[in-house]
Structure 1
Amino acid sequence: MDKQSKKILGLFARYISLILLGLGNLYIIYAVLIPLTISTLNIIISFFTKPLITENIIHVGAIGIEIIPACVAGSAFYLLLILILSTADTKPETRTRAVITAIVTLFILNIIRILILIPMAGSVHFETAHWIFWHIISTIFVVVIWIGVVKIYKIKSIPIYSDIKYIKTLVKPVKNTERNKKNK
């Protein structure tokens, strides 16, 4: 297979992967992240107290913390995947390392975010702190992680745009003189 064919195949594989990961309202992402988040939190909280887990609720003393899809920031993970997978001219090994770096970093930051919020549960300030973390801090996490991945892995392409630019080079417009010859 020639270089151009490999590039086209890689382009389609990247976007098909993104479509599949996004199906069912990010079902695959949440199916992995919710149990992983609950298990990780359980291990960490176990160092300090004995948590009880019932389905997706972690009970710590009298407080029950429900880990819902929004808690695991599935959309933030998906956005990072979109940014990384829609970036052209990146070697598969580099792309794989970038995905792993981004996902692990966001996962760790998200666990820290939840651990910071747990002691606030039941407090009058919980809703405000939760809103700030959910809407502002999580956005900052994604932006900083993306910038970090771009710098660490020396990514030069612009997500989506670079792919569109490449596709345009494949579909070269027919010049007017060629059209005129065909019409005669």
Structure 2
Amino acid sequence: MNRFTVTDLPLAGLKLVERRRFGDSRGFLARLFCAEELAATGWLQPIAQINHTFTTWRGTVRGMHFQRPPHAEAKLVTCLQGEVWDVAVDLRAGSPTFLHWHAERLSADNARALLIPEGFAHGFQTLTNGAALLYCHSAAYAPGAEGGLHPQDERLGIAWPLEIRELSVRDAMHPMVEGAFEGVAL
């Protein structure tokens, strides 16, 4: 029995994963990850790292982060508390959707996750106070491979649903996309 419904999104490789919840009067059980079922989506690597973030204030933006090869990573992003507007930007060199973005609402209530392939930048905006996310990564964090783009870059044109209340100094210092930026070669 499949525990997930997986939907292809407009950017090739980007997937919406909806979890089946099995519940009764005590609550529910939902599988967060299943290598066997997610292999059909292209997730073929073991989970190398799991991260948990908590963001205090509604309107906060985190992102847009990515890792360059050979440490490029796929991510499976799940909201455990509150609600976020989760964004992925295609940075794959030569992709027909290069620099296009797609966003999904992820919440503790809707049992959705975003499966983000290698070669994408990722970020989110909290739609509620007290939002917690869980990330499964296909590669461990490698500081030397880290990259980021400014979340308010006009060239990306991300339409954040709320006024940005808070942005870290690190994220505010990410560069704008310049004409010479050719993307991430995988």
Class of the TM-score when normalised by the shorter of the 2 chains: under 0.3
Name which one, 1 or 2, has greater alpha-carbon Rg. 1
TM normalised by structure 2 equals 0.22
* More contact order relative to length (CA 8 Å, sep ≥ 6): 2
More helix by share: 1
TM normalised by structure 1 equals 0.22
More strand by share: 2
